[in-house]
Chain A
Amino acid sequence: MRNEELGIRNADDFEFIAGRDLNVDLNFASQGYWKGVAVHFCRNKLAVAGVIIVAVIMLFAILAPIVSTYGYQEIVAVNVDGKQIVAKSLEPQFAGEAQNLFADKTFLFGTDDMGRDLWTRTWFGARVSLLIAFVAIFIDMIIGMSYGLISGYFGGHVDNIMQRFIEIAGSIPTLVIISILAIFMDKGIGLVIAALLVTEWIGMSKISRAECLKLKEREYVLASRTLGAGSFHIIFKQILPNTIGPIITQVMFSIPVAIFTEAFLSFVGVGIVLPQCSIGSLIEAGFNNITVLPYQILPPICVLALLMLGFNLIGDGFREALAPKIENM
C-alpha cells in the first residue's frame, strides 16, 4: 500500500459521517409534471423570444386602438378655407417633421389612400386577426377533442365509422370547402371563422384520438374501470387531462395557420370587407399601392410575419418541453 504517497490526512478522515438520511435523493428532487415542462420551456431561449414577440403584439393590438388619437375608420382631414383636405397617403411622420398641412399630427406608419391612420388600423387589424384565430381555434379544439376522444375511447365500429368520415372530409381540399362556404355565407369575419372551423378540427381530433388510444390501455384507466367508473368519468377525468399537453402544442401550431388563412382569404377578397380591417385586408390594400406607396404594406406584413414566427417558436418550445430529448437535458 502506498498510503504515505496519498498525502497528509486530517485526524477525522476515517470517522463515519453521521446523521444523514440516505433515503433522501438529492439528485432528483421531486418535481411536478407541469413544473418540469415550464422549466424546460423557459430554458429554451427561442420559445421565450416567441412568447415575448406574441405578448408585445397582443399588448399593442389591445391597447393601441384604445389610446390612439384616431379611430380605425376615421378619415383624418383638416378644414382649409371651408374645403375638406384629407390626409391621403402620407408617409410615416412624427409631429412637426413633415412640411405639410398635417405637420402637427403624428402618423407613425403613415396614412392610407383614404386618409386613415395606418398605425391605428394595423393594430386594430391585428386585433381582428388574433380574435378570429383564437375564437376559431378554441372552438376547433373543443370539437376536435370531443370527436377524437369519443372515437378513440369507444373504438370498434364507432371508431371505424368516425374515421372513415374524417378520411373523406380530410380529402376535400380547403379551397373547395371555402368556396362552398362562400356560396352559403356573406363575406366577412363569419366566413373566415366558418372556414377555419370546418378545416382545422381534423388535426386536433387525430391527435386526441391517438393520445386516447395510448392512454386507455394504461393501468390507471383499467384500474378505475375495474372499480366501476363510467365512460364519462374516465374520458373527462382521466384521459382528457393527460391529452392536454399535445393538444396545446397543436393549438400553438394552429393559431398561426388560422392567422395565415385569414390573411390569405382577405387578400384574395373573400375575407374581411371594408371598412373593417384585418391583417389580410391591410396587406391587400398595401399590395394594390405597392409600386407607388411601398411603405403601406410594411406594417401589416411585419406584424403577420412576427405573429407567425412567434407562435411557431412557442409551439416548437412546447413540443420540446413536453418530450425533452435526453441530449437536451
Chain B
Amino acid sequence: MNEKIILSVENLDITFRTNAGLVHAIRGVDFELPAGKTLALVGESGSGKSVTMKAVAGLLDDNATVNSGKIFYNGLDLLTLSKRDLRKKINGQQIAMVFQDPMTSLDPTMTIGAQITEGMLLHQKISATDAKDKAVELLKLVGLNEPEKRVKNYPHQLSGGQRQRVVIAIALSCEPKILICDEPTTALDVTIQARILDLIQDLQKKMGLSVIYITHDLGVVAKVADFVNVMYAGKIIEAGTVDEIFYDPRHPYTWGLLLAMPDLDTTEDRLYSIPGSPPNLLHEPIGDAFAARNRFAMKIDEREQPPMFKISETHSAATWLLHPDAPKIELPRELRLRLERARKAANL
C-alpha cells in the first residue's frame, strides 16, 4: 500500500475486571487506517468493536487493562502517553469521537454553544467571541437551522437528529484528523440516518478526514466504507476492501452477516439469523471462537485458533477453511445466489 497510514493498531489485547471475573474483551487486534479513507468495524454487540475504538481514543473505563499492543498515530504510540498528554495533545485535536446515542452524549446542564466552544477554548488560542462565531459556523456546516438561536439552547430543547448534528459539530470543532463514529445512526430514525451519513461523508471530503465507523449495520458499511474489518469475540476475523467483503467473503461468520441482511430478491420466507450467541469472554475460548455456531466447523476449529490467511494484498480472513488441506466446500445456495446478484449489479 502506498497511501500514508495515519493510524495503525498492533496486537491490541485488553481485559476488563468485573465482579464475575476477568473478561478478555480484545484478544489481539491489528488494523491500519490509510489517511483520508473510511474504515468500518463490523460485528455483533459485545464483539469488542467499541472497546477497540475507545482504546484508540483513550477513553477506556477504569476497570480495563491493556495487556499488550501498540496504537500508532502518525508514528506516535498513544498507549505510551500519559492521560494528561493524551487529553492535551490528541483528544479533540487529532482524534475526535461521535457517540452512539445523541440523547445522552450532551451535557444537559450546559448550552449547546458552550459545549461546542469548550474544546476550542481549551486547545486553541482563540477569543470567546471568535469561538462563538465559529460554533455558529459549525452548526451551519452540520446543517442545523437557526444556528444563532441554537447556540443558546440546552440539549433537551433539540430533537435526536439535531443533537447528533451538534455532537458532530463538537467533534469537528478542533479540526481533528480522525473521526471515530460509534454507531452514529442506530439511535436515530431511518430518514435521519441517511442524512447524517451523507453529512459525515460530505465533511470527510471537505476536511480530508479519516473516518472509522463502528457499526453492525452492513447497509451503512456498503454506503460509506472503503475498508471493512469484521470482528468476532475480540478478534478481527476478516478484513478487506468493501468490494472484497461484499462480493467475495471468505469467513463463515461474514457469510452469516451478509445472509442476515434483508434483501429484496431473496427467495427464502424467513430472514436468516446466525444460530446461537457470541461466546462469553469470561472463559477464554479454545480453538476458533466461532466454531460452536459454524455450520462448516472442522475438528481443528475446536483445537486451534486459525491464523489470518491472506487472500489478496488487501483481503485476509481467519478460518481454517482457507487452509490448503481443508476440504472445498459448497457455499449455501441462498448466499451463492445473493453474491451473484450483487456482483452482477456492481458489474464485476
Contact = CB atoms under 8 A, between A and B. Distances in A.
Interface of A: 1-3, 6, 9-10, 12-17, 20, 22-28, 327-329
A27 B299 contact: no
Contacts, number: 72
Contacts of B275: 22-23, 25
Interface size class for chain B? 20 to 34
Contacts of A10: 299-300, 303
A25 B18 contact: no
A6 B305 CA distance: 10
B299 A13 contact: yes
B135 to A, nearest CB: 35
Contacts of A26: 276, 292
Contacts of A13: 298-300, 303, 320, 325
B18 A327 contact: yes
Contacts of A23: 275-276
Interface in B5-52: 18-20
B324 interface: yes
Contact of A9 (B18, B291, B300, B309): B300
Given A1-B324, A3-B325, A328-B19, A16 B300 contact: no
B305 to A, nearest CB: 10
A12 B297 CA distance: 12
Nearest to A44: B19
B19 A327 contact: yes
A75 to B, nearest CB: 54
Contacts of A12: 299
Interface stretch (B100-108, B189-197, B240-248, B277-285): B277-285
Contacts of A2: 307
B280 A16 contact: no
A20 B302 CA distance: 13
B298 A28 contact: no
21 contacts: A3-B324, A3-B325, A6-B304, A10-B299, A13-B298, A13-B300, A14-B300, A14-B320, A14-B323, A14-B326, A16-B299, A17-B297, A17-B298, A17-B302, A22-B295, A23-B276, A26-B276, A27-B278, A27-B279, A328-B20, A329-B18
Interface string B98-142: 000000000000000000000000000000000000000000000
Interface of B: 18-20, 63, 275-280, 291-293, 295-304, 307, 309-310, 320, 323-327
A12 B299 CA distance: 7
4 closest A-B pairs by beta carbon, nearest first, are: A13-B300, A22-B275, A328-B19, A27-B277
Contacts of B304: 6
Given A13-B298, A16-B298, A22-B275, A329 B326 contact: no
Nearest to B278: A27
Contacts of B279: 27
A328 B296 contact: no
A22 B293 CA distance: 6
B325 A28 contact: no
A26 B283 CA distance: 13
Contacts of A3: 323-325
B325 A27 contact: no
Nearest to B61: A327
A22 B20 contact: no
A25 B276 contact: yes
A102 to B, nearest CB: 53
Contact of A1 (B301, B302, B309, B320): B309
Among A10, A16, A26, max chain B CB count under 10 A is at A16
Given A13-B298, A27-B280, 4 more contacts: A17-B302, A22-B292, A23-B276, A25-B275
A46 B280 CA distance: 26
Nearest to B320: A14
A25 B297 CA distance: 16
Nearest to A325: B19
Nearest to A16: B298
Nearest to B279: A27
Contacts of B298: 13-17
Nearest to A12: B299
Nearest to A21: B275
Contacts of A20: 297
Nearest to A7: B304
A176 B279 CA distance: 59
B276 A27 contact: yes
